[in-house]
Every structure is written in structure tokens, then in C-alpha cells.
Amino acid sequence: MKLPFEIDLSGKVVVVTGAGGVLCSMFAKALAKTHAKIALLDLNEDAAKANADEIVKDGGIAKGYKCNVLDKASLEEVREAIKSDFGTCDILINGAGGNNPKATCDDEYFTKDDLGSMKTFFDLDQSGVEFVFNLNFLGTLLPTQVFAIDMVDKEDASIINISSMNAYTPLTKIPAYSGAKAAISNFTQWLAVHFSKTNIRCNAIAPGFFVTKQNEKLLFNDDGTPTPRTNKILSATPMDRFGEPEELIGALLFLLCKDAASFVNGVVIPVDGGFSAYSGV
């Protein structure tokens, strides 16, 4: 992996939640190249450790940890382990999140004819909606509670949350995920103000459309051909393609670079190929 530009985070301890997934493992691997020490957290311990092993093999400093971001006791236990292994947290990347089929509907536009023939808004499962809100919102709030206490009054500590383009414009079929990501953007601004006297900056990145394990079934058929939803997405993306995960790294490095972004606080940066700027006309 080649970084778009170099920054030096030597001595910094970076905690990345959701580090077993495509985007957050990529964040971890990129930040390892800045000479930071990387703690990769995921409920899937094997994935977190495999990604950490890749970093170590490439000459970086990293370790994978099993962690449930919805369990404060689990977070506290991992915090102590990281402190013992690397020291206290300087940078927190809140990347854990996702959707759930129980919180999605099949119809983009409701009509009475849909009742009984597909899963509509009226069939959304309460437990599924709660799961999505908990995973995205509480899965950001709880790690921040646990790790930010060690970041108070450090030199240029930083929290990066992962929002989504859904926070700007809700997508059809996924009301819970859209709402939960809107909450992340709002929470990012709240944290930026709340911690503004403590040297902790808090910002977010809002990825547009990137292909991940979470959404690939929505975007591509089993034979690899694009679904109708993919065609809609690309027609609304002026750059006419999906983003590559590496195209998020520049925004991440910018936000973490003291020389470049020391006065940047409480912003949500879209990385979306122009999706949020396009009216459709």
C-alpha cells in the first residue's frame, strides 16, 4: 500500500474498532505506515489477528484483539490489554458498524399492493432496528467513553468516526442504517464541542459507495453482474464508479495530521465521487 502523502505518528497508539472488515483493516494498515502502534479490535478475533499479522509482516507494529463494542466490560478489558502492550490510546477510529436484514424493507416506494407480498416498512423487525442503532451509535459511544478518558489533555489526540452518505441523503430500503449514520454525524459534532477544551479533536469521514462484504449482495448478482440498485447508484455518482478503499486514506491522514488539520474539528468529510453534490439533473 502506498500512502498518498507521508505523516509521522511515531509513538502514537491507534485503536481501530471494526478492524476485521474491509475498510477499517485498510485504515489500520495505512496508519501502521505512519510508524504508529495499531490495536485492531473486532468481534471476529481471527480477522483482527490476521490483519494485525499482515501489518507485522510488513514491518509495522500491531496486535489484534477480540472485542465487543456493545459490551463495556469487554472494552475495558481490551483497554487494559492495549495499555499493557502499547500504552494508552492517542487516536481512536470508531469503525465498527453495519446493517441487518431485519431492519431493511424490500420496496423502495410503498403501495398497498405490497402488503403481504414482500417485506414493507410495516414489517420491519423491532429487534433488527435496535441492533442496527446499537451497533452503529452505541458501538461508537461506548468505545469513546472507554478510550477517550486516556486521551484527555494529550498532545493532539484525535477521534475519527465513520459516518456514511446515508447521513446526508437516506437511501431507500435501509431506514435504520440511514438514521443510525445520521446520528453518528450529529454525535461527531457533539463530541467536537464537548472535548474542545481537552486537546481532543473529533471529526468523521462519510464514505460514498464502496464495495464491502456488507453490501456486495445488494450490488452484484451471484454471477457478478450489477444489480438494478448498482445501476441506480452509478447513475447518481458523477464519477460513474464505486470508490476504491484506498481512496479514503487521504481524508484520514489529513484529519490526523496536526500540521494540516489542527484547527479542523467537528467536520464530516464526504468521500463520494460527487454523489452528495449531484441533483440528478
- Of 119-123, 246-250, 275-279, the one with minimum mean pLDDT is 275-279
Q: Quick check: 103 and 129 in contact, CB under 8 A?
A: yes
pLDDT at 199: 95
pLDDT in tens, 22-78: 999 999 999 999 999 999 999 999 999 999 999 999 999 999 999 999 999 999 999
Across 8-29, average pLDDT:
97
**109 among known catalytic residues:** no
β-strands 37-42, 157-162 pairing: unpaired
Cα distance between residue 187 and residue 185, in whole Å: 5
What pLDDT was estimated at residue 40? 98
Take residue 206 and report the three cell numbers written for it.
Answer: 462519510
First to last CA, the chain: 37
Give residue 210's pLDDT: 87
Whether 167 shows a pLDDT value over 70: the answer reads: yes
Q: What's the CA gap between 38 and 16, in Å, rounded?
A: 7
Q: How far apart are CA 96 and CA 98, in angstroms?
A: 7
Instruction: Find the mean pLDDT for residues 144-163.
Output: 97
pLDDT value, residue 16: 98
Overall average pLDDT of the 129-136 stretch: 98
Domains in the chain (CATH in brackets) are 13-208+243-271 (3.40.50.720)
Predicted confidence at residue 280, as pLDDT, reads 86
Res 228: pLDDT: 86
- Can you give the pLDDT at residue 214? 67
pLDDT tens for 196-251 read 999 999 999 999 998 776 677 778 888 888 888 888 889 999 999 999 999 999 99
Pick the catalytic residue: 65, 109, 168, 177? 177
Residue 97 has pLDDT above 70, yes or no: yes
The pLDDT score that the predictor gives to residue 180 is 98
On the CB side of 261, how many CA atoms lie within 13 Å of its CA? 24
Length of the chain: 281
**Rounded Cα distance, 134 and 186, in Å:** 15
Residues in CB range of 250: below 8 A, 6 or more apart: 4, 5
pLDDT band at 142 (very low <50, low <70, confident <90, very high): very high
Q: What are phi and psi of 262, to 5 degrees?
A: -65, -20
